[in-house]
Structure 1
Amino acid sequence: MSDDLFKILNAAQQHLDAGSADLPPYSAHPLGESASAILHQVADRLQDNYPYAHPLYAGQMLKPPHPIARAAYTLAMSINPNNHALDGGRASSAMEIEAVAALAKMFHWPQHLGHLSSGGTFANLEALWVAGQLMPGTAIAASDQAHYTHSRISSVLGLPFVTVPSDDRGRMDLTALEPLLATQNIGTVVVTLGTTAIGSVDPLDQILLLQKKYDFRIHVDAAYGGYFTLASNLSPETRTAFDAIPYVDSIVIDPHKHGLQPYGCGSILFRDPAVGRFYKHDSPYTYFSSKDLHLGEISLECSRAGASAVALWATQQLLPYTPGGVFAQGLESSHAAALELHHRLTESTHFLTPSSPPQLDIVFWAVNAPTPETSSALAQSIFDEAAKNDLHLALAKLPVRFFPHNTWLDTPKNDSENKVTCLRSVLMKPEHLLWLDHLWQRLQAAAVHEVASIPQ
């Protein structure tokens, strides 16, 4: 934490403490002389990590929280509010309602029911639980590139689950979806706007057309990609999918990904507030401090960190969800960085790229080699070599059909078991665009070291 931020936080803490200055003084949990040594031990232990906050970390979906989110979370933790009931988090509950309203407004929902959650998994669980209440006995359908949490959650809820094949770009295949819908066994289709592996965007606009023909709910899992609705530089195809969000039944988005928040901050939104009736329950000891809505009355989770709401609210005040604003520009920078990296990879003799550019900010590529097996081995070698030069990437085992049909001549493209280990980069930091030359130089150096001697 920078000195300036520490000073700002210290002044804010004093202002917060002044609000209870009329109470009798007391001292709780004073730190002894050993505290400093213990915290230094903690710092030593925490050095055993990748440099997640640095632009040279371009691997998994790890984006550092904004300094104001860190400060607001820390400030709130001096109270440690619980946003289940107003008894435990009166101010933070009000801030959560306002923060969730800002998320809903971003998706053009003037009316909604929603709340924050501990993460996308639990938020998706609530969406599918409500879907099961409304469409009992019917199945949940999601693409084979959707997050594995949906099949797992369906099993937990006792709901049938159907996997829909994806096309060669990792999007839900509508020619495979429609026959499944025609059986009338599908109650909810999970549409992913930003898959975890490659950032692909399902064709939501076309799925909405199918909804007019068949009776099913649409749940959008935008845990990763949802904030890109603010970006102005998406492809027309991707833009059309995001513009269809206002017409779906429920949405999940994770502020702890692109929303610049600490972990433990997901959210679930329903377009129809009437689904709140499914949450109704009685508590003999919880809801007595106010007749106003307690967030625990519209949530399956009980105790939740009110500090998450405070941090999100503060970040939204500094960086509002305005098209063309600073927050939106950060998303546009990430997408621009992904497009530029894809272009450079396509021009390189060392690498193989999918035929279509990235839809969001996730890029994947294979190593130019005669077979998927050789390519996979080289990908691992380049991954290791790049890390030695402080460039941290990720690996993903993906279907060979994601690459052009002539990439590996002796490999059938229609075999779902045929996969290749790819290098993968999530360029989710706005700084990645400015640092792209540094990333590229290190990647090229690793490739030269590992594959320059391989016959092309």
Structure 2
Amino acid sequence: MDLHHWLGRAVDTHAAWADGHGPRPGHPALAVDDEALSTAFAELAGRLGTSYPFFHPRYAGQMLKPPHPVAVTGYLAAMLVNPNNHALDGGPATSALEEEVVAALATMVGFPGDHLGHLTGGGTVANLEALFVARETHPGKGIAYSAESHYTHARMCHLLGVEGHAVPTDDRGRMDVAALERLLDGGRIGTVVVTTGTTGLGAVDPVHRVLDLTEPAGVRVHVDAAYGGFFALLADEVPHGTPLVDPAPWRALRRCDSVVVDPHKHGMQPYGCGAVLFRDPSVQRFYRHDSPYTYFTSSRPHLGEISLECSRAGASAAALWLTLRLFPLTRDGLGEVVAAGRRTALRWAERIAASPHLDLFQPPELDIVTYHPRVNPPSLKRITAASEHVLRAGMRGGQEDPVYVSTARIGADAFAARRGDAVVDAEETAVLRSVLMKPEAEPYLDRLHGRVEELASAACRDGELP
């Protein structure tokens, strides 16, 4: 895809549309000197050049990657109009596009046609909205979430004035269902948050087992699928094989009350583009408010009437709509983009397990791989030192073959639960963490593994360990 060509098409299309409305007078206040712009832009380009190469498969650190060129094209085309999807008259075209993409996301998670939902600025706001509705649905009741869930949930409970309860996890970082059952017995919980893809380890809570506990008790279930939502596309049975993910949690999404998905992660969108979906459209009543100078062009609900956010970029809806026209929410569409990262994670886990220089921390459930240099004895202090050596050496400027990974802090008890021979000489340790959400990582894996293995070997050889 020639991005320059399509960006040019977007600009030309906008110019032709704008010219159709007649001449536009200029204004001296908007004038910009080309030479001054050139100087300022050169400075901007230089400063942007200090970024990490998020686009390259050698970057396997955090959940960062550039949007697909199709999304960039769609975003630019709408951004030049600059619609606001708060009210229908602020974004008549892009509001319709938003309704279409939200319907597609709802179908992906199995919600019925009369769902409620909209795009948000990201997963944080989307989760806030879901927990706001949870509070209003069960006033005075607490909210339970996994101890490994995103810190958003504890923060939002504090913001909403709701009592939050962190549920312990098992030895794979998933919500401990037995611990949840004991918590539910007290009758203090109105909502349980389950996570399908924790941002640290990529762990998937057993949604189906949680629902078996909550449904008889009338407890609401919210799914934070901000990271892992699009893995639902991989849960179907495949001919002559098995699904790339355990299908049970994903098939249970349809039974949940709300789901959050972030298209700006695996949906290949620019920041910020999140989405919140409600199975029951009657929760619209909790959003009810009035804006006498805003809502006047339609008798049907404006998007701002079912959202806590006000101004929202219509360009986000346009970008996602165009992307889904080329990469539909099917196993062979966007599912193949997600599948590439999953296959890479499984392959790398196998390579790490066979490596003389690396140890796998735990098998990946999605496309996040956690591992650490093999040190002997496996003390928490030594593992931290070796992992941090790999992190620093890989990112060191000026070298010919940099590699970018990240680290994750693991408590001593959690590490010992996975490694029975661990020498517990610290309260926590740091393991290496790689997010393989770029499909380009699949053909690059051999080089990535080789470089990380080389750095891990050097970490243990160079005498820097305690």
TM-score range, shorter chain: over 0.9
What does residue 19 of structure 1 align with? 17
Report the alpha carbon displacement of residue 287 of structure 1 after superposing the two structures with TM. Answer: 0.6
SS in 2 for 1:56: coil
Percent of residue pairs identical: 46
Instruction: Verify: 1:368 aligned to 2:374, yes or no.
Output: yes
Aligned residues: 447
> Which residue, out of 261, 264, 269, partners 2:269?
261
What does residue 352 of structure 1 align with? 359
Letter in 1 for 2:372: A
Indicate conservation of the 8 Å contact 1:63/1:258, yes or no. no
User: Which segments of 5 or more consecutive residues in structure 2 lack a partner in the other structure?
Assistant: none
> Which residue, out of 245, 251, 265, partners 2:253?
245
Instruction: Verify: 1:144 aligned to 2:147, yes or no.
Output: yes
Letter in 1 for 2:432: L
Report the alpha carbon displacement of residue 407 of structure 1 after superposing the two structures with TM. Answer: 4.4
Distance 1:382 1:305 in 2: 40
> Which residue, out of 89, 96, 119, partners 2:122?
119
Change (3 A) 1:292 1:405: closer
Indicate conservation of the 8 Å contact 2:410/2:428, yes or no. yes
Indicate conservation of the 8 Å contact 1:338/1:363, yes or no. yes
Report the alpha carbon displacement of residue 176 of structure 1 after superposing the two structures with TM. Answer: 0.6
Report the alpha carbon displacement of residue 257 of structure 1 after superposing the two structures with TM. Answer: 0.6
Listed one character per residue, the Cα deviations across residues 185-239 of structure 1 (whole Å, up to 9, x for unaligned) are: 0100000000010000000011111123322100000000000001258768731
For structure 1, which segment, 312-321 or 24-33, has the greater mean C-alpha deviation from structure 2 after superposition?
Answer: 24-33
Listed one character per residue, the Cα deviations across residues 100-129 of structure 1 (whole Å, up to 9, x for unaligned) are: 111111112222100000110000000000
Distance 1:218 1:324 in 2: 30
Distance 1:405 1:440 in 2: 23
Instruction: Verify: 1:319 aligned to 2:327, yes or no.
Output: yes
Instruction: Verify: 1:331 aligned to 2:338, yes or no.
Output: yes
Letter in 1 for 2:452: L
SS in 1 for 2:19: coil
Listed one character per residue, the Cα deviations across residues 404-439 of structure 1 (whole Å, up to 9, x for unaligned) are: 655444439xxxx84210000000001111100110
Distance 1:291 1:13 in 2: 34
Indicate conservation of the 8 Å contact 1:372/1:408, yes or no. no
Report the alpha carbon displacement of residue 18 of structure 1 after superposing the two structures with TM. Answer: 2.5
Indicate conservation of the 8 Å contact 2:380/2:423, yes or no. no
What does residue 433 of structure 2 align with? 424
Distance 1:315 1:324 in 2: 14
> Which residue, out of 45, 49, 52, partners 2:51?
49
Change (3 A) 1:14 1:453: closer
TM-score calculated relative to the size of structure 2: 0.92
User: Which segments of 5 or more consecutive residues in structure 1 lack a partner in the other structure?
Assistant: none
Report the alpha carbon displacement of residue 453 of structure 1 after superposing the two structures with TM. Answer: 6.0
Letter in 1 for 2:55: A
**Correspondence 1:81-160 to 2 at 5 A:** 81-109=83-111, 110-160=113-163
> Which residue, out of 163, 173, 192, partners 1:170?
173
TM-score calculated relative to the size of structure 1: 0.94
Indicate conservation of the 8 Å contact 2:118/2:303, yes or no. yes
Instruction: Verify: 1:390 aligned to 2:402, yes or no.
Output: yes
Letter in 2 for 1:167: D
For structure 1, which segment, 120-129 or 384-393, has the greater mean C-alpha deviation from structure 2 after superposition?
Answer: 384-393
Report the alpha carbon displacement of residue 386 of structure 1 after superposing the two structures with TM. Answer: 1.8
> Which residue, out of 424, 439, 449, partners 1:411?
424
Distance 1:118 1:306 in 2: 11
Change (3 A) 1:12 1:235: closer
Report the alpha carbon displacement of residue 21 of structure 1 after superposing the two structures with TM. Answer: 2.9
